[in-house]
């Protein structure tokens, strides 16, 4: 995110205003201590109500939503976070928007042209991934583009975990949706993770969002909520050629030496049918 703006026309202040409006609309008045009124026409809280709860003037809060204030204090942001009933991850995202926190230091920032970075560009040494013969592993950037993956991950993904693909676009692929009965339940977490990890001024992010919005009404609804939180690990149902649906597990880890990137591992419980499938795929890869 560049200071004050971007080539896409999305400024830091505008992104903050969008976030505040979306989150304000999700808070029920009664949950914030206000008595619902007959004929109330505002979804969620009014601006004046948020301002009162955050202990700031209504005019100042209006300026924040309109993108006319450039540097709210930590106390103001903390008060707004409480008023909007944000959890710790949402507050973290709020502060990043307000203070223009860049997940990518300048010397390590990948060239963001609206397309995935070529294989091998701006990524750490990933040879370790190839030594994990019984664990699928891949690395994604802030836009959830896959910048490195080992042979087992590519076999598990059936093309969806190849370098240059996008983890979120892959999740909304019809093949994934058809085999995952919990797909719609997990979709909000996937969309929230994309927002949490990405830079709102990124041209590549805009491309991903436009693509998904055009082909998935569910994505469009979820993206409009502005939920922001990191992904947690959990069960994974993978459709693998010759084996059908296989029950696996996945875990997400940050890459400390490469800010903005995340390592995802895919594995199976010892002694499970999934472990036998992974062992077979690893042997074929060797």
DSSP string, 140-202: E-TT-BEEEE-HHHHHHHTTTTSTT-BHHHHHTSHHHHHH-TTHHHHHHHHHHHHHHHS-TT-
pLDDT at 239: 82
pLDDT at 286: 58
In the numeric block, which tokens belong to residue 188? 């909000």
pLDDT at 117: 55
Evaluate the CA torsion angle 174, 175, 177, 181 in order and state its sign. Answer: positive
Orientation of helix 217-225 relative to helix 203-215, angle to 10°: 130
Q: Tokens 């609206």 label which residue?
A: 114
CA distance 48 to 199: 29
CA distance 92 to 78: 10
- Three-state secondary structure call for residue 241: coil
CA distance 186 to 191: 9
pLDDT at 119: 46
Q: C-alpha distances in angstroms, 62 versus 17, 18, 22, 65, 91?
A: 9, 12, 14, 5, 19
Q: 225-238 b/e with 16+ CB inside 10 Å = b?
A: ebbbbebeeeebeb
pLDDT at 108: 44
Q: Tokens 């709860």 label which residue?
A: 53
Of the candidates 264, 144, 124, the residue with the CA atom closest to the CA atom of residue 204: 144
CA distance 255 to 264: 10
Residues with Cβ within 8 Å of residue 276, at least 6 apart in sequence: none
CA distance 9 to 255: 30
pLDDT at 56: 96
In the numeric block, which tokens belong to residue 152? 């087992």
What residue ranges of the chain have pLDDT lower than 70?
1-9, 101-125, 285-286
pLDDT at 60: 96
pLDDT at 101: 67
Which H or E element spans position 251? strand 244-254
């Amino acid at each position: 995110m560049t200071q004050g703006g971007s080539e896409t026309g999305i400024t830091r202040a505008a992104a903050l205003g969008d976030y505040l409006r979306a989150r304000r609309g999700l808070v029920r008045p009664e949950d914030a201590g206000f008595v619902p009124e007959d004929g109330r026409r505002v979804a969620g809280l009014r601006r004046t109500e948020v301002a009162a709860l955050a202990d700031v003037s209504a005019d100042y809060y209006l300026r924040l939503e309109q993108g006319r204030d450039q540097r709210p204090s930590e106390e103001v942001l903390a008060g707004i976070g409480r008023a909007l009933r944000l959890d710790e991850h949402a507050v973290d995202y709020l502060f990043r928007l307000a203070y223009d926190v860049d997940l990518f230091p300048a010397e390590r920032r990948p060239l963001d042209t609206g397309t995935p970075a070529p294989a091998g560009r701006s990524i750490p040494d990933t040879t370790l991934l190839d030594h994990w013969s019984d664990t699928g592993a891949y690395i994604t950037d802030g836009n959830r583009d896959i910048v490195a993956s080992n042979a087992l991950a590519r076999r598990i993904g059936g093309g969806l975990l190849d370098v240059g693909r996008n983890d979120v676009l892959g999740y909304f692929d019809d093949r994934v949706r058809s085999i995952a009965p919990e797909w719609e339940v997990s979709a909000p977490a996937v969309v929230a993770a994309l927002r949490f990890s990405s830079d709102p001024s990124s041209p590549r992010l805009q491309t991903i969002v436009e693509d998904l919005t055009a082909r998935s009404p569910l994505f469009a609804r979820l993206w409009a909520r502005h939920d922001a939180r990191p992904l947690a690990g959990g069960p994974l149902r993978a459709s693998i050629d010759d084996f059908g649906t296989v029950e696996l597990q996945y875990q997400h880890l940050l890459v400390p030496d490469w800010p903005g990137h995340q390592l995802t591992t895919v594995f199976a419980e010892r002694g499970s049918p999934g472990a036998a499938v992974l062992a077979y795929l690893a042997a074929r890869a060797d």
